[in-house]
Amino acid sequence: MNDSPVADRIRNREARITVIGQGYVGLPLAVEFARRGFTVVGLDTDPARVAALNLGHPHGPDVEGEELKALLRERRYEARSDFSVLEQSDVVIICVPTPLGKSREPDISFVVAAAEGVAARFRPGQLVVLESTTYPGTTEELLLPMFERRGARAGVDLFLAFSPERIDPGNPTFHVRDIPKVVGGITPECARVASLLYRQIVPSVIEVASAKVAELAKLYENVFRNVNIALANEFAMMCRRLGVNSRDVIAAAATKPFGFMPFYPGPGIGGHCIPVDPAYLSWRMRADGYEPRFIALADEINRQMPAFVIELITEALNDDGRAVKGARILILGVAYKRGIGDTRESPAHEVIAALCRRGAAVTYADPHVPTFRVGEIEFKAVEPTEPALRDADCVVVLTDHPEFDYATVARQAHLIVDTRQAIPSTVPSTTRVVRL
């Protein structure tokens, strides 16, 4: 039984919730709590983002403008940049970025800044949950002492937990409310209060033994994905040497009803999670004198992919009797994955930079990304019109956005390098398709 006042306030939906960081993760989460009747503040240090949200303009694919406007009208949701709001919060959820530094070491500064802001205004009885993906031990070794220095006692007047966010932005099937939540507390009471909170918005909450287990569960999920994508990428390179389409093989293997899960090759991994999170675990293990091998190998293979794509484009143009230098290359999609406008760590950066270095005239189309900066050059998206497709010496599919009309691409372009197998398997005889 949870009998702490915060538990009662959660049950009655009276708990005032602050979600720190209103990005891809924090905004949909804040909106979900607001939809369920809580009063939620979305706290963010970016004033432009705060202003846009208060006008009802969401930035990601998972929140509709109309819904945000309705919640603003009903005063269920408000964006703020002023940390004093924490003094009135019963529940604080931290969803700030956890990127890598220059030497690929964890940059935990956003988590530290946010948690310091919470600890400095600690209110006895508060529930504080960290959702940002991070190295094992962060909640207990970094956050807990910040609160203890202010006299807080975990499980008594502070409920501190880690619960990883597992959202897949833009996924039409699984929204925040559909994805089971893993929760690990500093004490069993911390876990119970945090579980109670998440049970208000998701059907399934899995309470694990500690915050560290929950931190590691998230890292294991993303290492698993990273390693399997690397396997698919290397497999695609091997299939190419053997003159076989890797997708045909993967599709055949995926007919096995157990023991196999398909992963697909691509031009390289991107986003804030898959290329970044494994490095958090590696960093932590290295500090312990252990060098994780799978993570290093997967990273090496995945990082080769943009160069492999350049090789495919170079060979494809060469077969047409053309050089990369001077070739007009139209890139379809620069976001790191389909259906969204997130270009963080996108392989498109490396592919476009390399093509430009070799003297190609590069343009790109992406319905989600109006401008795209590569080094000093700011590209503006073009429309993938029939003339634009016909004019290109090579069309390269880097992101398989659903908005592209692949049948038209197949009809109009004469040379296509398709890194996502988005182009239909039958194309006009005048079109040549090189598939990864």
Ligand X SMILES: NC(=O)c1ccc[n+]([C@@H]2O[C@H](COP(=O)([O-])OP(=O)(O)OC[C@H]3O[C@@H](n4cnc5c(N)ncnc54)[C@H](O)[C@@H]3O)[C@@H](O)[C@H]2O)c1
The three-state (H, E, C) secondary structure of 93-106, written as one string: EECCCCCECCCCCE
Cα torsion 422, 428, 431, 433: sign: positive
Task: Give the nearer residue to ligand X in terms of CB position, either 270 or 333.
Answer: 270
Site map (CB under 6 A) of ligand X, residues 124-143, x = contact: --------xx----------
Cβ 43 to ligand X shortest distance, Å? 5
For the bound state, the minimum distance from the C-beta of residue 276 to ligand X, rounded and expressed in Å, comes to 7
Q: Does 45 bind ligand X (CB under 6 A)?
A: yes
Q: Could you tell me if 63 and 42 are in contact, meaning their C-beta atoms sit under 8 angstroms apart? A: no
272 binds ligand X (CB under 6 A): yes
Nearer to ligand X, 44 or 90 (CB): 44
25 binds ligand X (CB under 6 A): yes
Question: Per rule CB under 6 A, is residue 95 in the interface with ligand X?
Answer: yes
Which span (39-47, 232-240, 330-338, 413-421) binds ligand X, by CB under 6 A?
A: 39-47
Q: Which stretch binds ligand X (CB under 6 A): 159-167, 199-207, 233-241, 419-427?
A: 159-167
What's the rounded Cα separation, in Å, for the pair 114 and 85? Answer: 13
Helix (H, G, I), strand (E, B) or coil at 145: helix
Chosen residue from 18, 39, 89, 98 binding ligand X by CB under 6 A: 98
CA Rg, the chain, in Å? 24
Q: Can you tell me the distance from the alpha carbon of 126 to that of 333, in angstroms, rounded to the nearest whole number?
A: 44
Query: Measured from the CB atom, is 113 or 251 closer to ligand X?
Result: 113
Say how many CA atoms lie within 13 Å of 280 toward its Cβ.
28
Does the footprint of ligand X cover residue 114 (CB under 6 A)?
yes
| Residue 273 is among the residues annotated as catalytic for this protein | yes
When asked if residue 26 is in the footprint of ligand X (CB under 6 A), the reply is yes
Is residue 267 within the footprint of ligand X (CB under 6 A)?
A: no
Under a CB-based contact definition with an 8 Å cutoff, are residues 53 and 79 in contact? yes
Q: Does 281 bind ligand X (CB under 6 A)?
A: no
Q: Does 97 bind ligand X (CB under 6 A)?
A: yes
CA gap 409, 285 in Å, rounded: 47
| Residue selected from 34, 85, 96, 327 as contacting ligand X according to rule CB under 6 A | 96
270 binds ligand X (CB under 6 A): no
Q: Out of 110, 135, 336, 364, point to the residue binding ligand X (CB under 6 A).
A: 110
The dihedral formed by the CA atoms of 431, 424, 341 and 300, expressed in degrees to the nearest 10: -80
Cα–Cα distance for residue pair 316/311, rounded to 1 Å: 8
Number of residues that bind ligand X (CB under 6 A): 27
Give every CB contact of residue 363 below 8 A, 6+ residues apart in sequence: 328, 329, 330, 331, 379, 382, 388, 392
Task: Count helices and strands (H / E) in the chain.
Answer: 14, 15
For ligand X, the binding residues in 383-402 under the rule CB under 6 A are none
Active site positions, annotated: 273
